[in-house]
Amino acid sequence: MISRISRTVITLVLSLAAAAAGAQDKAVDKAVLERLTAALNSKAMGLKVGTVERSEIPGIYAVQFDNGPLVYATEDGSYFIHGDLFAVNKGDYVNLSERRRDTDRKDQLAQVDEADMIIFKPEGEPRAVLSVFTDTSCFYCQKLHKEVPELNKRGVEVRYLAFPRAGVGSAAYSHMVTAWCSENRQEALTKLKNKQSVPAVECADNPVIAEYELGQRLGVRGTPALITETGQLIPGYQTVDQLMVTLGLE
């Protein structure tokens, strides 16, 4: 018993140490952070540095702009590269930039209260969870919604977040406020996606604008935009069978 406990404690300590080392590997000196922030912030371009981390290339830093792109900059901020960084591993190419974006999407979605989503749950424990940025006026969102019962049947939980493509104040925005403010949100959303009338309602604490802005930060450019539990972004519609393969369930 003692040896098993000891092994468990050692494993936990090593895991925590590895996590701490990983965090330290990405951390940058305060002077470097200040230098890059001063060099790359641009009022004219509307760009503000959000985070700075060490990249996989020595001397090059991954700079994420708030509501903007991920770039790779030299330590003094004199040069930066706008584009994805790939690692070459025995003939295979690994998109390291997309991995960073996956992590960011996963972390930001974890901060969204489930009470602010419209969730369609399967019976029993979900095999997978899909977060879906949706628009009631979007044809492929409507098409995907018709397949949600089958996704639920196969063990996939669908969590909807609002993303009115035409922006705040549009007809779709008003419909989505109605859906999120209705007493039965699942029913209201389903009716609106089926082009049925639903009495307009509003509520002061609805999350539609916040979720729309979140989607923009996460790189959503159209709907439906599906995000897996690992943070992978699936842009556009997929059939149920395709999604099961994408999710690694079949």
| 108 contacts 232 by C-beta, under 8 angstroms | no
Mark whether 86 and 205 lie in a shared domain: no
Q: Are residues 81 and 39 in the same domain?
A: yes
Do 119 and 194 have their domain in common? yes
Q: In which band, very low, low, confident or very high, does the pLDDT at 2 lie, cut at 50, 70 and 90? A: very low
User: What distance in Å separates the CA atoms of residue 133 and residue 216, rounded to the nearest whole number?
Assistant: 10
The CATH number given to whatever domain includes residue 167 is 3.40.30.10
Give the integer Cα–Cα distance in Å for 115 and 182.
13
Point out which residues pair with 74 in neighbouring strands: 60
Q: Answer for the pair 64, 73: CB distance below 8 angstroms, yes or no.
A: no
- Whether 100 maps to a domain, the answer reads no
Task: Please give the average per-residue pLDDT across 88-117, as a whole number.
Answer: 94
> Which residue, chain included where needed, has tokens 């669908």?
158
Q: Model confidence over 155-187: pLDDT tens digits?
A: 999 999 999 999 999 999 999 999 999 999 999
Asked if residue 212 lies in contact with residue 162, where contact means CB atoms within 8 angstroms, the answer is yes
pTM of the model: 0.81
- Mark whether 85 and 136 lie in a shared domain: no
Quote the number of domains for the chain: 2
Residue 20, pLDDT above cutoff 80: no
Inside any domain, residue 217: yes
**Residue 151 belongs to what domain range?**
113-247
Amino acid at 37: T
How many angstroms separate the CA atoms of 83 and 167, rounded? 27
The enclosing domain of 67 has a CATH number of: 3.10.450.70
Q: How many angstroms separate the CA atoms of 95 and 21, rounded?
A: 22
3, part of any domain: no
